[in-house]
Structure 1
Amino acid sequence: MSAASGDPVRSLRWGVNYTPSDGWFHSWQDLDLDAVRADFESIASLGVDHVRVFPLWPLLQPNRTHIRTRGIADVGRVVDAAAEFGLDVNVDGLQGHLSSFDFLPAWVTSWHRRNIYTDPDVIQAQAALLRAIATEISARPNVLGMTLGNETNQFAVTRHPEQQLTTPNQMGAWIRGQLDEIGGVLPDGMHQHSFDDNVWFVDSCPVTPRHAATLGDATTVHSWVFTAVAQLFPSGHPARTLFADYLVQLAQAWADDPGRPVWLQEIGAPYPAIPAEGAADFLEDSLRPVLDVPNVWGVTWWCSHDVSRKLADFPELEYTLGLLDSERKVKPAGRRLAELIAEQKATPVPVQQRATAVSFDSGDESTGLGRSLTDPAGPVFGAWLRLATDGIKPALIRTNKVHDADYLAARGITTVVAG
């Protein structure tokens, strides 16, 4: 049932971000479908209903005017393999950035460096690739849709060692245009873009909260406590397990449409911020607060399988994020997720509007200047957290919406507390 229609219960989608157990994402170079099937069988045993997959951009489009037919066909083969185990699939398009590694084709780097957001030739080539992927998967009934790319803002932020300069207007045009390319081929899919939490908290990030909450069919949330929360709040502090809920509420607050879906597209238990023995509890304690949020479309855990220790130079946390290890054995966090899914399928948590909301000044919404007010170190998170730890499940609301009676009614907000 649909939360947007006011029904008390809706069917939450459960999934994982698929990290191949053998060879990580490099396995796309010499795809072994038997290994993929074994991975999907182990994933399906957890009770999830979908996976998010990540074909690598340089492997699919090694030259600006050359898209590898075999590479595109491999994407379709992986989607078909998922169907064998009852799994729906979301396909990411431009990879992009994954687990601290960048995957840009040679024709936009070094001597051929071009801006991936503003160069007309690059934009045209990206669109061709996205259309090719969309065309390949369009006839497959287990396709949910596409995500433009994984945390596509990463290359534009000031901390990136080879920053691609762009403005919020240019970034908005790029996201909008590429999503239109996907939608033109897959008109019935759910398509979105994704980003890290710089979008919500860093004033200089050219992807703005308005881009996040208005472009595409859903707002994605990537919840990682190691970026700020774990540095600000000690182990065991409720801020850590409430952070995902805070981001979901922030995503809702930035949307003009009270019914816009929010997809908790990435959340994980990163070591050492989350000790290995605490990963299962962190998973459950982070997910339970969002289960009754009306607009949450689904939860997609990062990630399916651990990165193998045979592979070098990953940040330590990447080797332990899986629900299953690299031998496909279920870990405690994986068992806990399976138990939570089974519980929710048997007795779904009724959706519940939040009557109390913390307000915040959204600043300059066209540029995102002022968004840092909602950073975990700031007063808005502090006010929201105090209510949350007092047993009040608070929402968030922009100050320019607090006198909009229709908006307040649609979200069920009756009390507004200043942040």
Structure 2
Amino acid sequence: MPMPVPQTRQVRFGANYTPSQGWFHHWLDFDLDAVRADLDSLAGLGLDHIRVFPLWPLFQPNRTLIRPRAVEQLVQLADAAAERGLDISVDGLQGHLSSFDFLPAWTRTWHRRNLFTDPEVLAGQEEYLRTLAAALADRPHFLGMTLGNEINQFSDGPHPDPDRITGAQATAWLERMLAACERGAPGRMHLHAAYDAAWYRDGHPFTPAQAARLGAATAVHSWVFNGTAQRHGPAGTATEQHAAYLVELSKAWATDPHRPVWLQEVGAPAPHIPEDRAARFTEATVRNALDCPDLWGVTWWCSHDVARSLADFPELEYGLGLLRTDRTVKPAGKAIAALVEEWRGRAHRPGVRSTALVVDVGGAAAAPFRSVCAPGGAVFEAWMRLTAQGARPSLVLAELAGDEAHLVSRGITEVCTADDAG
């Protein structure tokens, strides 16, 4: 069989848009001029897209009320982005942001219903996602919908009050909600996003197989405060390669060998990444991710810092922006701008990763032992050892490690185990 030809195209660079005034509470006092000034500062970095977060309780405060004015403001934001050359991806069910939950009153306390299985909640979510997608369907700069920001965290611990579900119920929810987005805006890049419990937490109902097989692309969110930086330090190979590892890990489950992978969230959280190392970490993380085939793009978390006048955020959340609240550029922002300039007009052609580390998680579908992939796990640590030695490893599921057609489709010529990696 012929070796696969790596796909070439330009990689995308963007930011998760956190308004400089009022954080996501800006929807309560929507100021289009302030939004335009924020978007000007992002366009000044050379970025080509943003990811936007409506707050679900403000847009759908009652199960049968999706506020027309809120939807209109979302469209205004999208049009302002387009005027500055920025495409837009919209997250629907917000959901969860920076340690705060934003759930409508019709899903909580006296109206408590399971977010993933209750028939009335499902119908409300479905119509909400369809409505947002339809409102933007005629905008050529609209990329598509993400169902919600790390909504998987509502399904399991360590959330203090989870809506428990099975893996089959998670699949059914994902398929139904993705179909609603497609009805609203056919043919756009609709996908779902999970925090890394989907990849690392045994028994979690949202799985790697769902992440890598449902939706138009695979989204990965890379945060090194998950034990990686604590174990390996701020400049360790594992810390600077964590995002690239997640990109490659996702490809082990993908049935399409060239499925696009979107590094949809990645940031430099202090104190795990000290402020004076943020620019170095940013550059190293992005460069390492760019060495992964089929990377759709990198979207940094986040655009602007959180104002210190806002209370009760975890300390690390305040300083994650590429820009300060006064819209001046921080060192991490300068690092991103330099990378954007370097890659402007350049084809993404990283080459095939021909060595694959075997991933045995007890079965691809449920992945009951996926913690071997987590920081400290045998697969994670072996991949990082190989990388530190100068290798460019990928990963392959144990059940596919002997499948010649699969290996050829991915350009894999050598397979090794964690024990082989020393």
Length-normalised TM-score, structure 1: 0.97
**Stretch moving more, 275-284 or 379-388:** 379-388
Q: Which amino acid in the other structure matches residue 165 of structure 2? A: T
2:63 is aligned to 64
2:285 is aligned to 286
Report the Cα offset of residue 382 of structure 1. 1.6
1:198 is aligned to 197
2:9 is aligned to 10
Structure 2's unaligned 5+ residue stretches are none
Report the Cα offset of residue 417 of structure 1. 0.8
Encode CA deviations 1:286-306: one digit per residue, 9 max, x unaligned. 111121322110000000000
Encode CA deviations 1:11-59: one digit per residue, 9 max, x unaligned. 0011000000000000011210000000000000011100000000000
Distance 1:107 1:75 in 2: 22
Distance 1:364 1:8 in 2: 29
Matching of residue 364 in structure 1 with residue 360 in structure 2: no
SS at match of 2:50: strand
Distance 2:109 2:227 in 1: 32
Distance 1:100 1:5 in 2: 42
Matching of residue 253 in structure 1 with residue 252 in structure 2: yes
Change (3 A) 1:264 1:101: same
SS at match of 1:149: coil
2:106 is aligned to 107
Structure 1's unaligned 5+ residue stretches are none
Report the Cα offset of residue 5 of structure 1. 7.8
2:155 is aligned to 156
SS at match of 1:328: coil
SS at match of 1:372: helix
Report the Cα offset of residue 346 of structure 1. 5.4
Report the Cα offset of residue 187 of structure 1. 1.3
After TM superposition, list the pairs within 5 Å mapping 1:198-347 onto structure 2. Answer: 198-345=197-344, 347=346
- The answer on whether the counterparts of 1:106 and 1:112 sit within 8 Å (CA) in structure 2 is yes
Distance 1:115 1:205 in 2: 16
Distance 2:233 2:243 in 1: 17
1:377 is aligned to 376
Distance 2:30 2:71 in 1: 12
C-alpha RMSD over aligned residues: 1.3
**Stretch moving more, 340-349 or 90-99:** 340-349
Distance 1:279 1:7 in 2: 32
Q: Which amino acid in the other structure matches residue 244 of structure 2? A: D
- The answer on whether the counterparts of 2:212 and 2:254 sit within 8 Å (CA) in structure 1 is yes
Q: Which amino acid in the other structure matches residue 20 of structure 1? A: P
1:136 is aligned to 135
Moved over 3 A (4+): 346-349
Distance 1:8 1:369 in 2: 33
Matching of residue 97 in structure 1 with residue 96 in structure 2: yes
Encode CA deviations 1:67-119: one digit per residue, 9 max, x unaligned. 11101111111100101100000000110000100000011111111100000
1:391 is aligned to 390
**Stretch moving more, 397-406 or 77-86:** 397-406
Report the Cα offset of residue 373 of structure 1. 1.5
- The answer on whether the counterparts of 2:364 and 2:397 sit within 8 Å (CA) in structure 1 is no
Encode CA deviations 1:266-298: one digit per residue, 9 max, x unaligned. 000001000011100000111111213221100
- The answer on whether the counterparts of 2:18 and 2:24 sit within 8 Å (CA) in structure 1 is yes
Q: Which amino acid in the other structure matches residue 160 of structure 1? A: H
Distance 1:397 1:365 in 2: 11
SS at match of 2:220: strand
Distance 1:145 1:354 in 2: 30
Encode CA deviations 1:198-236: one digit per residue, 9 max, x unaligned. 000101211011111111011100000001202222232
- The answer on whether the counterparts of 2:356 and 2:414 sit within 8 Å (CA) in structure 1 is yes
* Percent of matched pairs sharing the same residue: 52
- The answer on whether the counterparts of 1:31 and 1:74 sit within 8 Å (CA) in structure 2 is yes
Corresponding residue pairs, total: 416
Distance 2:151 2:292 in 1: 26
Q: Which amino acid in the other structure matches residue 231 of structure 1? A: Q
- The answer on whether the counterparts of 1:10 and 1:351 sit within 8 Å (CA) in structure 2 is no
Matching of residue 125 in structure 1 with residue 127 in structure 2: no
- The answer on whether the counterparts of 2:81 and 2:88 sit within 8 Å (CA) in structure 1 is yes
Report the Cα offset of residue 347 of structure 1. 4.7
Q: Which amino acid in the other structure matches residue 98 of structure 1? A: L
**Stretch moving more, 41-50 or 379-388:** 379-388
Change (3 A) 1:397 1:7: closer
